[in-house]
């Protein structure tokens, strides 16, 4: 049996040696062959140089560098495509996901689970990030309908080979990897762990990328925003009609009815623009999928056998 460990990395040069040492220590106690695939998301520091050094010392380490900074979800996708093990584990490079949790995850996998989520007992870091995560997972579970995603969030997971093979058929570009894998189904189980604080460096998880993740996740799995806009549009047009009538009735005595009419017009115009923007998000994603551009391109690799791009999809 072989276990593939997949790690996306962006400017993580200061953490890779420590993470490697802990992985070696943990895997020494598990009866598996293993490989560690680290995908450098076009870092600006010496991340790939560190990977080259680790790979030179240990052939189980494989490093790939993407041709551009494409985001952590694209890097994770690349790593999962490259995994050759009977199962793969996705873990962060910043030591927030402790490798010591692997024993529990593997035990659940050996007991029959095909997808094991490691869910957080606590969310370290600033309150803003924790609040965003809570709202995001609530929306994904309650609005989008992906109840398989843990309520407290999970970006540390183990996937069986059958799940990995199914995931290779997913060719969407603008989507959350975790939502895509959860939506596949299969036998899913959960364990809890204490998510650690970042060891060093700064996260590349910017506000812009958080917003894009929310939009991608919702538009990829639900038409609810468009339906809500349609319902809101009908309701507001009814309210606007009532306000217009009331304004015209009171205009001679109060002189303020025209302001209500103008406010109604501006409100409806804003609603129309919002609805148009939401529809545009769906249209843009459809166009992006129709172009069939590669999800990622590998610029360099520590292993000459690594594939230059994503696997072909089955039509």
What's the pLDDT at 315? 38
The C-alpha atoms of residue 98 and residue 243 are separated, in whole angstroms, by 59
Q: In this structure, are 51 and 170 located in the same domain?
A: yes
What's the pLDDT at 88? 93
| DSSP conformation class of 27 | H
Flag whether pLDDT at 164 surpasses 50: yes
Q: Which of 40-44, 182-186, 191-195 has the highest mean pLDDT?
A: 40-44
| 0.95 surpassed by pTM | no
Q: Is 59 a member of any domain?
A: yes
Q: Which of 158-172, 183-197, 233-247, 289-303 has the highest mean pLDDT?
A: 158-172
Q: In this structure, are 56 and 151 located in the same domain?
A: yes
Q: Is 197 a member of any domain?
A: yes
Query: Would you say 39 and 78 are in contact if contact means Cβ atoms under 8 Å apart?
Result: yes
Rounded to the nearest 10°, the torsion over CA 104, 116, 97, 296 is: 140
pLDDT band at residue 86 using 50, 70 and 90 as cut-offs: very high
Q: Which of 281, 213, 170, 217 is nearest to 71 (CA)?
A: 213
Q: In this structure, are 48 and 97 located in the same domain?
A: yes
What's the pLDDT at 257? 57
Query: Would you say 113 and 188 are in contact if contact means Cβ atoms under 8 Å apart?
Result: yes
pLDDT band at residue 4 using 50, 70 and 90 as cut-offs: very high
Q: In this structure, are 277 and 217 located in the same domain?
A: no
What's the pLDDT at 40? 92
Flag whether pLDDT at 6 surpasses 80: yes
Q: Is 313 a member of any domain?
A: no
* Span 96-151, pLDDT tens digits: 888 888 889 999 999 999 999 888 765 555 555 556 566 666 666 666 666 666 66
* Structural domain for 268, as ranges: 224-291
Q: Is 309 a member of any domain?
A: no
Q: What CATH number is attached to the domain comprising 123?
A: 3.90.550.10
Which two structure tokens, joined as six digits, stand for 190? 């959960």
Q: Which of 137, 124, 186, 140 is nearest to 160 (CA)?
A: 186
Q: Is 153 a member of any domain?
A: yes
What's the pLDDT at 241? 64
Least trusted range by pLDDT, from 77-81, 90-94, 139-143: 139-143
What's the pLDDT at 74? 86
Least trusted range by pLDDT, from 160-164, 240-244, 310-314: 310-314
Domain count, the chain: 2
What's the pLDDT at 199? 52
Q: In this structure, are 155 and 281 located in the same domain?
A: no
Q: In this structure, are 78 and 171 located in the same domain?
A: yes
What's the pLDDT at 314? 38
The C-alpha atoms of residue 12 and residue 63 are separated, in whole angstroms, by 13
Q: In this structure, are 282 and 254 located in the same domain?
A: yes
What's the pLDDT at 68? 86
Work out whether strand 156-160 and strand 87-90 pair parallel, antiparallel, or are unpaired: antiparallel
Q: Is 198 a member of any domain?
A: yes
Q: In this structure, are 228 and 214 located in the same domain?
A: no
Q: In this structure, are 274 and 181 located in the same domain?
A: no
* Span 242-290, pLDDT tens digits: 666 666 666 555 555 565 666 667 667 767 767 776 777 677 667 666 6
Q: Is 95 a member of any domain?
A: yes
What's the pLDDT at 25? 92
What's the pLDDT at 262? 63
Least trusted range by pLDDT, from 28-42, 127-141, 174-188, 274-288: 127-141
Over pLDDT 90: what percentage of the chain?
A: 22
| DSSP conformation class of 198 | P
Q: In this structure, are 180 and 216 located in the same domain?
A: yes
Q: Is 310 a member of any domain?
A: no
Flag whether pLDDT at 163 surpasses 50: yes
Q: In this structure, are 201 and 269 located in the same domain?
A: no
pLDDT band at residue 194 using 50, 70 and 90 as cut-offs: confident
Query: Would you say 66 and 31 are in contact if contact means Cβ atoms under 8 Å apart?
Result: no
Q: In this structure, are 124 and 114 located in the same domain?
A: yes
Question: What is the overall mean pLDDT for the chain?
Answer: 75
Flag whether pLDDT at 292 surpasses 50: yes
Flag whether pLDDT at 158 surpasses 90: yes
């Amino acid at each position: 049996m072989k276990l593939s460990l997949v790690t996306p990395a962006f400017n993580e040069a200061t953490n890779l040696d420590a993470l490697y040492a802990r992985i070696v220590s943990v895997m020494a106690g598990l009866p598996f062959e293993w490989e560690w695939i680290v995908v450098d998301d076009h870092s600006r520091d010496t991340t790939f140089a560190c990977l080259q050094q680790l790979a030179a010392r240990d052939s189980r380490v494989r490093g790939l560098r993407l041709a551009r900074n494409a985001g952590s979800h694209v890097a994770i996708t690349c790593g999962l495509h490259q995994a050759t093990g009977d199962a793969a584990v996705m873990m962060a490079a910043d030591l927030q996901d402790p490798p010591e949790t692997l024993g529990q995850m593997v035990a659940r996998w050996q007991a029959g689970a095909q997808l094991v989520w490691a869910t957080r007992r606590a969310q370290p870091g600033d309150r803003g990030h924790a609040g965003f995560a809570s709202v995001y997972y609530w929306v994904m579970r309650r609005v989008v309908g992906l109840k398989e995603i843990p309520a407290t969030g999970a970006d540390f997971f183990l996937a069986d080979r059958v799940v990995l093979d199914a995931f290779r058929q997913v060719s969407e570009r603008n989507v959350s990897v975790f939502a895509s894998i959860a939506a596949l189904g299969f036998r899913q189980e959960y364990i809890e762990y204490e998510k650690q604080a970042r060891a060093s460096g700064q996260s590349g998880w910017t506000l812009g990328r958080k917003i894009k993740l929310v939009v991608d996740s919702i538009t990829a799995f639900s038409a609810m925003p468009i339906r809500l806009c349609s319902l809101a549009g009908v309701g507001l047009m009814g309210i606007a009609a009532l306000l217009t009538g009331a304004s015209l009735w009171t205009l001679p005595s109060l002189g303020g009815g025209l302001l209500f009419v103008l406010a109604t017009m501006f409100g409806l115009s804003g609603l129309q623009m919002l609805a148009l923007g939401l529809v545009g998000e769906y249209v843009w994603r459809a166009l992006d999928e129709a172009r069939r551009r590669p999800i990622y391109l590998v610029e360099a690799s520590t292993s000459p056998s690594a594939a230059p791009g994503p696997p072909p999809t089955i039509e």
